Structure 1
C-alpha cells in the first residue's frame, strides 16, 4: 500500500438547503433543470442558477462544443469554450459532478476557432469538478503562430479537480496558471499532443502543468497519472509558488502518443519539478515530489530542470527512463550545478543519476553497498499502470516495484507495504 499522506478535506455531504440541478446532452436550457427528467443542456445555463453549496449533475453522453464563448480577435488570440467564473464559498463549493455511474464527455474537437483554445476556463474559486472527461481541444492545422491549447485552465483558488479523464487534447490536459490551494486528485491526463505548435510539434502538451505566480501556495497534485503525452508528464517550469506532487505516476512522455517514435521537440520527462526556462532567479521556491513513480520516459524520470535551489525528492521510484534522476541546477552566474535533496529513492535502470556529483545522498538505492536487482521486487513489469482505478478513484493496486520482504531496500521507494 502507498503511505497515506495528509489530505485536503473533501466534504461528502451536501449542506442543508443546497440545490441540485441536472444537465444532459439532450437537455433544454428552457427547462427547469431541477430533476433528472427536466435537465438543462449547457454548463453556462447551470452556472447561472448554481450558488455556493449547490450541485450540478452531468448525465452521461457526449457534450459536443463547436465554438468558443468569445471570438478570435486575431489568430494569436485565445477563446474559451466553457467558462466557470462564479465562485462557491469555504465549505460550500459549487459542485460540477458526473451523475453517479455515468460518464459525461466534453468533446471540443469540432471547434474551428482559428486561435488558441481553453476547453474549460476556470476563473472561479471554491469549485469541485468530478468525474468529467475532456477531449479534443484543438489547434488548427494551418495556424502555426501559437503554442498549445489547454483542456482545463485554472486561475482560481481552493478548487478541486477529481477523477477527471483528460486526453487527446492539443496541449496540456490540465494547467494551473494561477491561484492557490488547488487540489488535482486521482485525475488522468494522457495522449495529449500539440502537432501545430510554433516551436515544434509536441513541445508543449504536458499531462499537467503549473506556472503559478508568487504568493499562491498550497497547490497539490495527488494520485494523478500522466502517460503518453508528447512533452512532459508533470511540468512545474515557471512556478513561483511551491507545489507538491505526491503519489503520482508518469510514463512514456516525449513520444508520438501511442507509439515509441521520439518527438524531437517533445522534452520527454516524467516529472519536471522546477526551473525557470534555464534562467537563474533569486525568488525561486522549493517544490516537493514524493511517493511517485516515473518510468519509460524519453528523458529523465525526475528532473530538476535548471532549478536555482535544491528541490525535495523523497521516496520515489524511477526505472527504464533515459536517466532516472537528473538534478541539473543553475547557479547565480548561470553555470550548471548539481542541486537536490534526495532521500529514500529507488533508481533501477542503466543510467541511475545525472548531475549529482557532490550531493549528499546517503539514503538512496544507488548509495547502498549492494546493487539493486530484479530480486528486490515482486515484479518489474511496465504493463497495466493504466488499469482502471479503484472504486473510490484511487490508483490501481499493482505488484510492480513493490519490494520483497527480504529486500535491503525496505523503506525506500514509492511503495511501503
Structure 2
C-alpha cells in the first residue's frame, strides 16, 4: 500500500458536501431543521390524502405546495407518467414544464425529494404531446435536493427547436444525486443558470434529438452548463455520460467557472447504440463561445476524468479563449484524445490549456498543443505506452450498476498495472496522491 499524500485542497472538497441522511418511519426528519416533516408520494396515491406513508399523495406538484425548508418528500417506486405540461404551448417555439420546482429551501435546510430507500421512482415524459419545447423537471428554486430519481423520455414534437430537456436548472445551491436521466430528445441534465449546484454520482445516456431545427443529433448532450456570469461553483462529480448523440459534457457559452471531476464519458457523438455518427461527439467539451473570442471567458477545470471511444475528441477546448486546467485525466481511443484548439483576441487559432499528469493512449493523442502549458503528461515524458502498462484496456462494463452509495463502480479498466512506468511520473497540482509523486491518468495506483 502506497502512502497517501494530501497536498493542498482535497479533491472531494471543491463543492457542497452531501451529508448522509436517513429517516425512520416517523413524521420528522432528523438532521434538518427542528420538527421538519416527512411526506410521501406514490403512483397510486391521492393528492387529497394525508401525505403519510400509509396515505401518500399522487404528485410531486402537490407535495411542493405543502413542504417547507427542511422537509423531506419520499417518492415511492413505480412510474409517474406525464402527458402534458402545466400550461399550454403559446406557440410551437414556446417552452412548457411537466414539473416545476420553484419553492426554495434554505442553507442547511434544503427541501429533499428523495427516492424511498430501496425503490426506484421513474418519471416518464414520453407520452407528452405538447407541440413546443418541453422541460421534464424545471428547477427554478434553490436549496433543493433530488436523489435517486430516474427521468426519461422527454420528446421534441416538432422540427422548429433545437432540443427539449430532461432536467433544466436555473436555481442555485441545488444537489442532483444519483439521477439517471436518459432517452430524451435533448440534454439529460442542463444547468442554464444559478451557482453552487452539485451534480453528484449521476448518469446521462442514450439522449438523441431526432426532431430538431439544427440537424438530428446535434443538441442532445449528456450534461450541459451554459450559465451566465456571477454564478460560480457548479460542479459535476462522479458522473457518467455515454451514447449521447452530441457531447458527453458541454460547457459552451458558460460565463462562470465549472468543475468536472471524477467523471467518465464514452461513445458520444453517435445515434445511441450504433456507430452511425450524429452530433459533435466530444467526451468533455470544456467551454467555447461559438468559435469567437470573448473577453468574458472564464477558466474551467476538468480533472481525474476518463474519456474513451468518443466519435471526436476526448477532451476538447472548443475554441476557448483562456487556458482551462486539465489535470490527471485519461483519454483512450479518441480522435484526438486531447484537442486544445483555442482562439486569441485577434480571432486566430492557438493552443489553450494547462495540462498536467494526463494520459493519452491509442487513437490520435493530441492536437493544437502549440501555445499550451503542458508538462508531465504521457506524451511528453518519453515513456513508451503499451497495453502492459494497464491492468486492463477493456471498454466494456463501464455502465455497470453503481454501489448503493452511488459511487462509480471500481473497474480494472485503464487503471495502471503495479509495475507501470507511469506511476509517480506526475507533478503536484494540489490534488491527493499516493507515493512520491502523482501517477499519470485518472486513477492512482494502489
* TM-score, normalised relative to structure 2: 0.91
Tell me the residue number matched to 1:287.
300
Tell me the residue number matched to 2:287.
274
* In 2: Cα distance, 1:25 partner to 1:155 partner: 27
Shift of 1:206: 0.2
Tell me the residue number matched to 1:337.
350
Matched, 1:415 2:415: no
Shift of 1:94: 0.1
Shift of 1:378: 0.5
Matched, 1:71 2:83: no
Shift of 1:279: 1.3
Contact 2:252–2:290 (8 Å) recurs in 1: yes
CA shift digits 1:359-402 (9 cap, x unpaired): 34220000112221111111000010000001210000000111
Tell me the residue number matched to 1:47.
64
Matched, 1:103 2:103: no
Q: 1:197 aligns with which of 192, 212, 228?
A: 212
* In 2: Cα distance, 1:29 partner to 1:239 partner: 40
* In 2: Cα distance, 1:71 partner to 1:300 partner: 40
* In 2: Cα distance, 1:350 partner to 1:100 partner: 42
Matched, 1:354 2:367: yes
The 3-state SS of whatever aligns with 1:44 is helix
Shift of 1:8: 2.1
CA shift digits 1:253-296 (9 cap, x unpaired): 01010111112xx0000000110111110011000000000001
Contact 2:138–2:168 (8 Å) recurs in 1: yes
Structure 1 residue runs without a partner (length 5+): none
* In 1: Cα distance, 2:270 partner to 2:352 partner: 28
CA shift digits 1:285-308 (9 cap, x unpaired): 000000000001000000000000
Tell me the residue number matched to 1:249.
264
Tell me the residue number matched to 1:22.
40
The 3-state SS of whatever aligns with 1:238 is coil
* In 2: Cα distance, 1:165 partner to 1:259 partner: 21
CA shift digits 1:155-186 (9 cap, x unpaired): 00000000000000110000000000000000
Matched, 1:382 2:399: no
CA shift digits 1:310-336 (9 cap, x unpaired): 110000000011210000001111111
Tell me the residue number matched to 2:16.
8
Q: CA RMSD in A?
A: 1.3
Tell me the residue number matched to 2:406.
393
The 3-state SS of whatever aligns with 2:337 is strand
* In 2: Cα distance, 1:369 partner to 1:310 partner: 24
Matched, 1:323 2:331: no
* In 2: Cα distance, 1:207 partner to 1:115 partner: 21
* TM-score, normalised relative to structure 1: 0.97
Matched, 1:261 2:279: no
Q: 1:167 aligns with which of 158, 163, 182?
A: 182
The 3-state SS of whatever aligns with 2:64 is helix
* In 1: Cα distance, 2:149 partner to 2:412 partner: 29
CA shift digits 1:19-69 (9 cap, x unpaired): 000000110000010x21101001110001110000000000000011000
* In 2: Cα distance, 1:71 partner to 1:416 partner: 52
The 3-state SS of whatever aligns with 2:12 is coil
Structure 2 residue runs without a partner (length 5+): 5-9, 22-30, 424-438
* In 1: Cα distance, 2:373 partner to 2:382 partner: 15
Contact 2:167–2:190 (8 Å) recurs in 1: yes
* In 1: Cα distance, 2:382 partner to 2:242 partner: 33
Tell me the residue number matched to 1:146.
161
Tell me the residue number matched to 2:105.
88
* In 2: Cα distance, 1:80 partner to 1:5 partner: 33
Shift of 1:358: 4.2
Contact 2:328–2:359 (8 Å) recurs in 1: yes
* In 1: Cα distance, 2:244 partner to 2:205 partner: 6
Deviation larger for 186-195 or 401-410: 401-410
Tell me the residue number matched to 2:376.
363
Contact 2:336–2:363 (8 Å) recurs in 1: yes
* In 2: Cα distance, 1:134 partner to 1:406 partner: 43
Runs of 4+ with deviation above 6 angstroms: none
Shift of 1:15: 3.3
Compared CA separation, residues 413 and 312, structure 1 to 2 (3 A): same
The 3-state SS of whatever aligns with 1:52 is coil
Tell me the residue number matched to 1:31.
49
Shift of 1:77: 0.4
